[in-house]
Amino acid sequence: MPVSKAQQRATSKYKKSHYDRLEMQVPKGEKEIITEHATEYDGTLNKFLNRAVREAMERDKNNY
């Protein structure tokens, strides 16, 4: 079922008010490898990256 333009606008407005965006650059070919891994273990690239960042931050806290 196609999403209406009004629904697209509402979703966009919600995301803009509730989320910040980060941009990341990786060497050519790495994106596909990371995406495949993320899909297999976390379901989505976004979930995987959020988990990876949180785990790294926790490790950093415990090591310093």
Q: What secondary structure does DSSP assign to 13-63, as a single string? A: HHHHHH---------TTHHHHHHHHHHHHTSSHHHHHHHHHHHHHHHHHHH
* Total count of domains within the chain: 1
Assess if residue 36 is contained within a domain. Answer: yes
Q: Are the C-beta atoms of 26 and 35 separated by less than 8 Å?
A: no
Question: Is residue 64's pLDDT more than 90?
Answer: no
Report residue 63 as tokens.
């090591």
DSSP 64: -
Q: What is the pLDDT of residue 38?
A: 97
Classify residue 60: in a domain, yes or no.
yes
pLDDT tens digits, residue range 15-61? 999 999 999 999 999 999 999 999 999 999 999 999 999 999 999 99
Q: Is residue 34 part of a domain?
A: yes
Residue 57 belongs to a domain: yes
Which pLDDT belongs to residue 1? 83
Does 4 reside within a domain?
Answer: no
- Flag whether 7 is in a domain: no
Residue 36 domain boundaries: 25-64
